[in-house]
Each structure stands twice: as structure tokens, then as C-alpha cells.
Amino acid sequence: MVVIPCLKVPQRHAQLYKKYLQSQGVLELRYCTQKHSDGTVTFPVVASVLPRLDLVALKGYVAQEDSFCEIVDIQAPPLSKKGKVKSFNERLIETAKSLLVSKGETWSVDLERDIPSRWQCHGDMVLFGDSCFSNTIWREIGPEFWTMVAQILGVKRLAQIKKISQDGYRTPIVTVLLGDSSYVTHIDNHIRYEFDITKCMFSSGNITEKLRIASLDCNGETVVDLYAGIGYFTLPYLVHANASHVHACEWNPDAIKALHRNLQINGVSDRCTVHQGDNRQLPLSDLADRVSLGLIPSSEEGWPVACRLLKRRTGGILHIHQNVTTPLHHETPEHSSAIDVEQSPLKSQRDMEVWTAWARETGSRICTLLLVITGDKWTTDIRHIEHVKTYAPHISHVVLDLECRPL
């Protein structure tokens, strides 16, 4: 008998818990949520998450003070509609195995592991990562195999990214496996992005930060995006946050071309000035209410530019992106005051302490830069620290919202 761990919660708060579990990828979608006669609901959860799931923090984060939640084991909960349907990965494995066997090839565990379970979708193209389809046999079979893969995934074109080149533009090394064109369309939060997937990066993992930027109220503000790319953050500032004007800086000619196109098709080109070239040579100063520094692993080279851009009389906010590493043996600092960190029961206290320490150090360094650049004393305040994604083991992509004001 199959036993599945479930989160048991009161029915009156079920939607709040469900929304959170979905947002964190904790909900086990293969099984059904069940209502019980005692007024509770049980949500199947992913077993591998349980050791990191802090129920006390979860209750405080999601629901009301009179709520409760606990982990219970449910024997053989009903399969959901999704659970009854074979996954794309299972269908890909079956198809690949059948095709190879029909050609006299021997199927193996290594070949099965070479079939992807995740990918990015860009319109009618699927982009695979570099951890799959590494065996030469797939390319030896060629179009016949790729056409079958595309049919299963419901797209017309396939491509695979191998690595990011060190050419200064972070140009992706992409091979088109099926299809003639490498131009794609991607829609996020009602914003349309068009670009050449072999020449421009697109990070689907940054969607939560793009949604957060879109939720800001930037009415009447002048924003500078120092690393605009094809408009990842520039467009949310214009389309949803309603910024009065955005200065978008980018030095990749292919990204510049896509940026101009995306500004036009989203109807906001009249409120954006595009600056091509090295942003350190940007001939602007004393005009920004907000500066976006969306470059990882570090945007530190852009800090002096950002400080120069802030309005001298009123200051503004810097959104500083950084990959922050949490040491394996991190000791909790003796003095740690409350900081608005994007908290989650699935994020460890250790991580948040490291992020906060980095944010404080960054605030101090920005204060020094502002003094040197403007000749006046400034104060900085950590408004928020947002966790965007886990970049690698023990490495987190975070964003610091740093308010900077002249004294």
C-alpha cells in the first residue's frame, strides 16, 4: 500500500495553504487533495521537502493565528488527473526506446537517464539544457527522432543550449535541433519578448523578480536599467509599474536589436531611451529615482555608475543583484536585528543571516561611494532582500532593495 505524506490544515484556511504550497513547488500534483469529515483538508506534499519544511514558520507565514497544520500519512490517496496521465518524460522515454529498438539498438539505463525531464518553452520552440541528449546516437538518428520529440511536447522546433560563452556578451551557445529559424517569442505576465535564441540570453528563473518589479508603483519615476538585455526588467517597469521614463543600457548589439523590437511591440518605446555601449561611459547623472543593477554573479562594477545616477537632492532606490554564497559552516552573528528578508519556511535561517550580512556590508560600501562621488554624506536603508532563485548548491541569487538618501 502506497503511503503519501500530506499537510493537514483546517478547511477554512485551505486555499491560503494551497496557494503557498503551489508557489513553493511543494504540492505533490500526482495525488488528489482530500476533504475530511472533521473539517480538515489534506494536501499531498513532495516527500523530499519534508526535512526542510518548518510547520511553525509555515503556519505563521501563511494563515491566521487560530490555524494549525501538521504532517500526516495518507494511504493510497486517489491519483489526480495529472497523475493518471503519463508525464512528458515517460512518453519521451517510451518513444525513444521504441525507436532505438526498432533500429536494432540496445536500450540502456544510461540512455534513459539521457532523456530530459525539464526544459524551457519559448512559443513553439523547446530549449533543452546541457544535461541531456549527450549520447551521439540521438544526432545519428537525426530529424526522425527530433520530429517525434517535438510532436510529444506539442511544439514545432527544438534547440539545446550547451554553455554560455565568455565573449563579454554572455552569448548562449545554442544548437537548433529541429526547425529553420532561431527567432522565438516568449510571453511573461502579458509582456511579449522576441529574440534570437542563439544570440540572446533569457532567464526563465527570474520570473518571480520580474513579477515583483511589475507590482511596484513607479508612477512619476525615472528609472535606469544598467543591464537591460532584451528588456527583462525594462519592460515590466514600463508596462506594469508605470515608470515615467526608463533609460535602458546594453552593450550587446543583438540584445539592443531585440530590445528596440520589444519596446515597439509592447507599445512603450516612447517612454524609453536606449543607450548602447559600456554603461560606465554613460553620460548621465543626477536623474534617477531608481536604478536596476540586474547582473550576476555580481553587479559591483556598476555601483559607482548607479551612485552617480541617483538624484542628488532626493536620492532613490538601488536594486542590487548578487550571487551570495552561504558557507557550509556558518556561525550565527551575536547581534542580528530584524531586516525585511523575503522569508520562507523552506529558506534556512543560516541563508537569511548571510544575505543580511552581505546587504549591510553593501549598504556601507554604497554610502562610501556616494560620499566620494557627490562630496556629501548619505544614509542607506535596507528596504528588502528578495531571494530570486538557487543558482547552485549554497549559492543564492538575491536582490537588495537599498534606499539611499542624502543627509
The 3 state secondary structure assigned to 281-313 is HCCCCCCECEEEECCCCECHHHHHHHHHHECCC
β-bridge mates for residue 127, sequence order = 120, 159
Query: Which of the four pLDDT bands, split at 50, 70 and 90, describes residue 241?
Result: very high
Whether residue 192 is predicted with pLDDT greater than 90 in this model: the reply is yes
3-state class (DSSP) for residue 80:
coil
3-state class (DSSP) for residue 3:
strand
Closest by CA to 332, choosing from 353, 356, 348, is: 353
Specify the pLDDT at position 345: 47
Whether residue 107 is predicted with pLDDT greater than 90 in this model: the reply is yes
What residue type is 31 in one-letter code? Y
β-bridge pairing 125-128 and 316-325: unpaired
Residue 28 makes CB contacts below 8 A (sequence gap 6+) with 4, 44, 45, 46, 47
Specify the pLDDT at position 26: 83
Query: Which of the four pLDDT bands, split at 50, 70 and 90, describes residue 340?
Result: low
Q: What's the rounded Cα separation, in Å, for the pair 391 and 393?
A: 7
β-bridge pairing 120-122 and 125-128: antiparallel
Neighbours of 355 (CB within 10 A): 23
SS3 of 153-191: HCCCEEEEEEEECCCCCCCEEEEEEECCCCEEEEEECCE
Q: What's the rounded Cα separation, in Å, for the pair 346 and 168?
A: 35
Q: What's the rounded Cα separation, in Å, for the pair 205 and 197?
A: 16
Q: DSSP labels for 47-74?
A: GGGGGG--HHHHHHHHS-TT---EEEEE
Query: Which of the four pLDDT bands, split at 50, 70 and 90, describes residue 62?
Result: low
> Which of the residue ranges 66-75, 239-248, 253-262 would you say has the lowest mean pLDDT?
66-75
Contact between residue 180 and residue 159 where contact means Cβ atoms under 8 Å apart: no
| Angle CA 63–396–131, to nearest 5 | 110
Whether residue 402 is predicted with pLDDT greater than 60 in this model: the reply is yes
Q: Please name the residue that has the C-alpha cell 533500429.
A: 103
Q: What's the rounded Cα separation, in Å, for the pair 372 and 284?
A: 17
The model's pTM is 0.74
Contact between residue 247 and residue 222 where contact means Cβ atoms under 8 Å apart: yes
The whole-number average pLDDT for the span 20-32 is 81
Q: What's the rounded Cα separation, in Å, for the pair 73 and 144?
A: 46
Whether residue 73 is predicted with pLDDT greater than 80 in this model: the reply is yes
Q: Please name the residue that has the C-alpha cell 536589436.
A: 257
Whether residue 37 is predicted with pLDDT greater than 50 in this model: the reply is yes
The whole-number average pLDDT for the span 330-358 is 64
Residue 62 makes CB contacts below 8 A (sequence gap 6+) with 13, 16, 17, 20
β-bridge mates for residue 319, sequence order = 292, 401
Radius of gyration of the chain (CA): 24
The whole-number average pLDDT for the span 95-104 is 91
Contact between residue 370 and residue 286 where contact means Cβ atoms under 8 Å apart: no
Specify the pLDDT at position 86: 67
| Angle CA 64–70–75, to nearest 5 | 135
